[in-house]
Amino acid sequence: MAHVVRPPKAKGHNTYQGEVAAGKRDILDSEVDADFQTIYSMVDGGLDDYNVRAGAAIAYSKLNLTGQIKNADISAPPSPNPNGLGIDGSKITGKLPTGALGPNAVTWDVIAPLNTFAGGQPPVVNHGSAATVPVPWNEYVLQTITYNVRRGTLFCQGSLGMVYPTSLGGVASALVVARIWSGSVGGGLVAERQLRLFANSAGDVMSGTIVLHGNSIEPVGNINYLLTLTTTGSLQLDVDFWDLVIWEPA
């Protein structure tokens, strides 16, 4: 209710004093009723912002502020964190909606070290030794690691040492190809390295070592990484050792 004005009386005045001064000495019952009715209407559901004085200090429990708090109602954050929120962090739950943060809204000094996003775990390393690979063989799986991807960019490295136990069976050389796959064999090729083993003058073959590495960009979740070996020729290949390393670096 806006500013409340008493109803005018018979002589046009809002007060009885004004009426008497104008020569109207009688107070009419209808005029008294009109005055009181104006008061009743204001008190009985008619009060609004206009009728409450500034600084009235109404108890918080008597205010219905649901959906009414605006950005301007939140006080500035105290020192020494002038860029923070004016609300205690323990009272903020859930997640921010898409688009709530503008460009450059989050700085590196408030982000936890990135390696902690992966649980602070060190690189996952799997070792193996003493495998005999039939020759020829296509994508012989030496090692598999299932990795829980947290951010999406991973470093992968494989290494293996091998030797043909006898001569190459009349051929001058044989090709060996090592690969790291993501997902499955034939899925995402992360790294590949080839090595050609040559026979010496006596027909014996020297040992060889392959080291391969690459980066893998994957969706969040569990993913398999596989170290495979592809061989050519007609003899078996002895693999002395191999390592597969998967790491989501900081």
Host H or E run for residue 242: strand 237-247
Mean of per-residue pLDDT scores for the chain: 78
Task: Spell out the CATH class of 124-247.
Answer: mainly beta
Averaged pLDDT, 91-100 = 70
List, for residues 104-162, the tens digit of each pLDDT value: 777 766 665 555 554 445 689 999 988 877 767 889 999 999 998 887 889 999 998 87
Q: Give domain limits for the chain.
A: 1-83, 124-247
Contact 9, 28 (CB under 8 A): yes
Contact 174, 233 (CB under 8 A): yes
Task: Quote the CA–CA distance of 135 and 233 in Å, as a whole number.
Answer: 6
Task: State the pLDDT confidence band at 199, using cuts at 50, 70 and 90.
Answer: low
Is a pLDDT exceeding 60 seen at residue 87? yes
pLDDT of residue 80: 55
Task: Quote the CA–CA distance of 177 and 133 in Å, as a whole number.
Answer: 12
pLDDT of residue 141: 93
